[in-house]
Structure formats: structure tokens, C-alpha cells
């Protein structure tokens, strides 16, 4: 089974396919995603409770980046072989 991300590589970059990760996920992934999700929610709670505007801004930035990391890893680890970018490629006329 081929990695679904390889369809976006242009021909001159086809050699980069060998650097793509394995098709099966590590058993550590669900555990690490759970820990990261709990930490993200804890940081959002810290944003809501902190009174200092500078710390709130910092915690909100870090917690937002962590939430995006969780979402990214969920998409990348799913076996759903959907063309995520097809809608945008059609919109641009490709």
C-alpha cells in the first residue's frame, strides 16, 4: 500500500518518497495523543484562570499550537484515504 501523500509530489521530487514514514502506526501513538490532549486541555484551563494578560497570551499561544498538533497527528495517523486537498485543487483549476 502506498502512502497517500505521495500523490502530491512532483516528478522531480519522487525520490523523497523513501523518507516517508511506515504505513503502520506505533503502539505508543494513542498513549502520546491522550497525554497531549490532556495537557492541551490543562493549558486551556490555565488560560481561563490566569489573570496576568502576558501569561494568558503565552498560554493561549502554546495551547493553540498543541491543539493543532493533536489535530494534525489524528489526521496523519488515520487510515482514512480521502483526498483532503482535492476540493482546493479543483477550486484553483488544477
Q: What is the pTM of this model?
A: 0.67
pLDDT single digits (tens) 1-58? 566 667 677 788 888 888 877 677 788 988 999 999 999 999 999 999 989 999 999 9
**In a domain? residue 23:** no
Distance CA 28, CA 14 (A): 30
**In a domain? residue 7:** no
User: What pLDDT shows up at residue 82?
Assistant: 62
User: What pLDDT shows up at residue 84?
Assistant: 67
The number of distinct structural domains making up the chain is 1
Q: Contact at 8 Å (CB) between 33 and 73?
A: yes
Sequence-distant (≥ 6) Cβ neighbours of residue 40 within 8 angstroms: 63, 66, 67, 70
Between the ranges 26-35, 58-67, 71-80, where is the mean pLDDT highest?
Answer: 58-67
* Residue numbers of the domain that contains 49: 28-76
**In a domain? residue 32:** yes
User: CA angle 43-46-47, nearest 5°?
Assistant: 90
pLDDT single digits (tens) 34-49? 999 999 999 999 999 9
Least Cα distance to 48 among 40, 60, 65 occurs for 60
Amino acid at each position: 500500500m502506498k502512502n497517500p501523500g505521495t500523490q502530491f509530489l512532483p516528478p522531480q521530487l519522487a525520490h523523497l518518497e523513501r523518507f516517508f514514514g511506515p504505513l503502520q502506526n506505533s503502539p505508543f501513538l494513542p498513549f502520546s495523543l491522550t497525554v497531549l490532549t490532556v495537557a492541551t486541555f490543562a493549558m486551556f484551563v490555565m488560560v481561563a484562570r490566569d489573570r496576568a494578560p502576558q501569561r494568558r497570551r503565552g498560554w493561549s499561544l502554546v495551547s493553540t499550537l498543541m491543539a493543532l498538533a493533536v489535530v494534525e497527528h489524528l489526521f496523519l495517523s488515520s487510515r482514512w484515504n480521502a483526498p483532503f486537498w482535492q476540493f482546493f485543487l479543483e477550486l484553483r483549476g488544477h
